Amino acid sequence: MSSINYSSREINAKIAYYGAGLCCKTTNLHYIYKKTNPDSKGKMISLATETERTLFFDFLPLALGEIRGFKTRFHLYTVPGQVFYDASRKLILKGVDGVVFVADSQVERMEANVESVENLRINLTEQGYNLDTVPYVIQYNKRDLPNCVPVAEMRAALNPRGVPDFEAVASDGTGVFDTLKAIAKQVIMELKKGQEGG
């Protein structure tokens, strides 16, 4: 869960980038890191294998400025997409405030995308969250490739809830900040709701 610290006037929120292996989760964070000014970001930490596959997670702390007098920090994480790292994925979902699902648009990765959403649903449920209500956005990545599934089809398969979704080419940054802004907005709205509700 996010923490709101009234004495230090700070809000901390945790976002997880989730999705199948090689769908571009880490590339999203690298791009965000590269384009954020030095005052707004902490050190990016990547625990990866020799072949650059995420082993445990990537972590990037971002300062989003002040919201109603509260310093707002977002902690971005990626999960490892490879199927056998499920224990790590579960751990990274602990205390999550928002999820970005990154889908690989290639035809041959659609099955992996669908499996990954199912895995996300199960792992969220184990942590006491619900994929149907958690702040959530979807990114259709690798739109630069010739063998992309049409967005309408991807939406039908992966976005029954109709959450905000974006086409992206993470390697050149297309769609990366639109996705981040959309999830940040939802998380902040959720925080406000929490405050108003009690």
Ligand X SMILES: Nc1nc2c(ncn2[C@@H]2O[C@H](COP(=O)(O)OP(=O)(O)OP(=O)(O)O)[C@@H](O)[C@H]2O)c(=O)[nH]1
Q: Which of 126, 132, 144, 153 touches ligand X by CB under 6 A?
A: 144
Residues lying near Mg ion in the complex (CB under 5 A) are found at: 25-26, 54
Question: Within 13 A of 168's CA, how many CA atoms are on the CB side?
Answer: 27
Closest to Mg ion by CB, 54 vs 159, is: 54
Closest CB to ligand X: residue number = 81
Q: Take residue 114 and report the two structure tokens written for it.
A: 């669908």
Closest to ligand X by CB, 136 vs 140, is: 140
- 3-class DSSP state of 24: coil
Footprint of ligand X on 145-164 (CB under 6 A):
145
Locus of tokens 């005052």: 39
Q: How many Å separate Cα 162 from the centre of its chain?
A: 17
> Binding partner of residue 88 among ligand X, Mg ion, none, CB under 5 to 8 Å per kind?
none
What whole-number distance in Å separates Cα of residue 1 and Cα of residue 4? 10
How many C-beta atoms surround the C-beta of residue 120 within 10 A?
22
Locus of tokens 């990765």: 109
Q: How far is the CB of 103 from ligand X (least distance, A)?
A: 10
User: Which stretch, 67-75, 138-146, 152-160, 177-185, contacts ligand X (CB under 6 A)?
Assistant: 138-146
Q: How far is the CB of 169 from ligand X (least distance, A)?
A: 4
Q: Which of 12, 21, 164, 185 touches ligand X by CB under 6 A?
A: 21
| Among 95, 80, 92, CA closest to 12 | 95
Q: How far is CA 71 from CA 125, 136, 175, in A?
A: 30, 23, 26
- Count of residues in contact with ligand X, rule CB under 6 A: 22
User: Which stretch, 25-33, 38-46, 86-94, 150-158, contacts ligand X (CB under 6 A)?
Assistant: 25-33
- What 8-state DSSP symbol labels residue 112? H
Instruction: Kindly list the residues in this chain that would bind ligand X in the complex (CB under 6 A).
Output: 19, 21-27, 52-54, 78, 80-82, 141-142, 144-145, 169-171
